């Protein structure tokens, strides 16, 4: 049985939720405001969960209830997001370098260079 850290699952689940919203053409701010209607700062909170806080760069933690609310807006089961997260982690472990560029993440120079996207000037 493959073991994952809670942080790995949490970060990848957030990526999967964001990716699904992007695929459906939903703005991240609309997703957050719809999922958490009682929170005035919902878009800011979701941005900090996705990208990290400006002060520390560390991602804000997401609770299960917050993630379920986001999934409900997208019409997908939370268990599906967790499954996709686990599969993405497995795939990443099986490859020597990232196969796709994640937003807000720096590419590994070798992978970027191979795709012709890395240019040191």
Q: For 97-114, write each residue's pLDDT tens digit.
A: 544 444 444 444 444 455
Instruction: List, for residues 66-99, the tens digit of each pLDDT value.
Output: 999 999 999 999 999 999 999 999 888 776 554 4
pTM of the model as a whole: 0.73
Q: Does domain 6-114 have CATH number 2.30.38.10?
A: no
Q: What pLDDT is recorded for position 95?
A: 65
Q: Which of 50, 54, 30 is nearest to 42 (CA)?
A: 30
For 72-106, give one letter per residue: b (16+ CB within 10 A) or e.
ebbebebeebbebbbebbeeeeeeeeeeeeeeeee
- Write down the mean pLDDT value for the chain: 82
Where do the structural domains in the chain lie, given as residue ranges? 6-114
pLDDT average, residue stretch 28-46: 95
């Amino acid at each position: 049985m493959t073991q994952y850290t809670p942080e790995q699952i949490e970060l990848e689940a957030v990526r999967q939720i964001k990716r699904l919203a992007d695929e459906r053409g939903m703005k991240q701010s609309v997703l957050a405001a719809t999922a958490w209607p009682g929170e005035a700062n919902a878009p800011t909170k979701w941005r900090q969960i996705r990208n990290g806080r400006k002060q520390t760069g560390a991602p804000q933690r997401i609770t299960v209830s917050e993630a379920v609310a986001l999934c409900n807006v997208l019409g997908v089961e939370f268990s599906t997001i967790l499954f996709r997260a686990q599969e993405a982690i497995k795939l990443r472990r099986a490859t020597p370098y990232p196969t796709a560029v994640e937003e807000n993440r720096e590419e590994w120079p070798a992978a970027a260079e191979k795709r012709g996207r890395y240019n040191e000037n």
